[in-house]
């Protein structure tokens, strides 16, 4: 496993649809494990593979309720049902540092996916976890959380992020890293 380099906005990868995974082999498992290692290192709760430069339909999530690791790996995830009831949470992203926005999403979803072992699953999620999973699946479909905002609000947040990045350049992993 390895901590992977986060891709930062603006980058064209965020408008691209990730490719389906044809089989869950050792390379895919290594990528999923490395993505989990990356969210733990970055103190994040989820990432889509394109956020680390891989155009693969893989998302990992671990909200670590009560400090307990419960990693979830979603390969080729597809939301098959959305509740009509919605909820709002403040969302942010490792790829869009220094900004956050309140986003409204369905409160519950059903997701069909392949798990880490390559077995097809369909599970229902609700509340905060449902929003996190939707956020990550959006990345795999070429959509970002800012796309839910008005153009004016989105442009304002992008300017704020650019200012933040000038003041806080992101860490770029290299051979001199000690982690």
Alpha carbons 179 and 52: distance in angstroms, whole number: 17
- What residues have CB less than 8 Å from 30, skipping those under 6 apart? 1
| Phi and psi angles of residue 65, each rounded to the nearest 5 degrees, phi first | -60, 135
Average pLDDT over residues 135-157: 97
* Residue given tokens 């050792």 in the structure block: 26
Examine the pLDDT at 176 and tell me if it is beyond 70. no
Examine the pLDDT at 46 and tell me if it is beyond 80. yes
Q: Please state which CATH class domain 12-167 belongs to.
A: alpha beta
pLDDT (0 to 100) of residue 170:
81
* Tokens read off for 31: 């990528």
pLDDT (0 to 100) of residue 89:
97
Alpha carbons 51 and 64: distance in angstroms, whole number: 20
Which strand (E) or helix (H) includes residue 137? helix 127-140
Q: What is the mean pLDDT of the chain?
A: 95
Average pLDDT over residues 19-30: 97
pLDDT (0 to 100) of residue 109:
98
Active site residues per annotation: 136
Do the beta carbons of residue 57 and residue 49 sit within 8 Å?
yes
- What residues have CB less than 8 Å from 102, skipping those under 6 apart? 88, 89, 90, 91
What are 76-100's pLDDT values in tens digits?
A: 999 999 999 999 999 999 999 999 9
Average pLDDT over residues 47-61: 97
Q: Where are the domains of the chain?
A: 12-167
pLDDT (0 to 100) of residue 169:
87
Average pLDDT over residues 27-33: 97
pLDDT (0 to 100) of residue 175:
62
Examine the pLDDT at 5 and tell me if it is beyond 90. yes
What are 99-121's pLDDT values in tens digits?
A: 999 999 999 999 999 999 999 99
Query: In a 3-state reduction of DSSP, which class is residue 147?
Result: helix
């Amino acid at each position: 496993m390895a901590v992977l380099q986060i891709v930062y906005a603006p980058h064209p990868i965020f408008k691209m649809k990730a490719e389906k995974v044809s089989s869950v082999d050792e390379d895919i498992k290594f990528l999923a494990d490395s993505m989990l290692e990356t969210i733990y290192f970055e103190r994040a709760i989820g990432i889509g593979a394109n956020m680390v430069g891989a155009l693969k339909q893989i998302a990992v999530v671990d909200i670590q309720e009560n400090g307990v690791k419960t990693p979830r790996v979603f390969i080729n995830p597809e939301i098959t049902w959305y509740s009509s009831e919605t909820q709002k949470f403040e969302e942010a992203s490792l790829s869009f540092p220094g900004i956050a926005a309140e986003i409204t999403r369905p409160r519950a979803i059903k997701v069909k996916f392949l798990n880490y072992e390559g077995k097809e699953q369909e599970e229902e999620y609700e509340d905060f976890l449902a929003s996190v999973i939707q956020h990550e699946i959006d990345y795999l479909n070429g959509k970002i959380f800012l796309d839910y905002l008005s153009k004016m609000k989105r442009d304002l947040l992008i300017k704020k992020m650019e200012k933040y990045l000038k003041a806080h350049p992101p860490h770029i992993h290299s051979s001199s890293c000690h982690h």
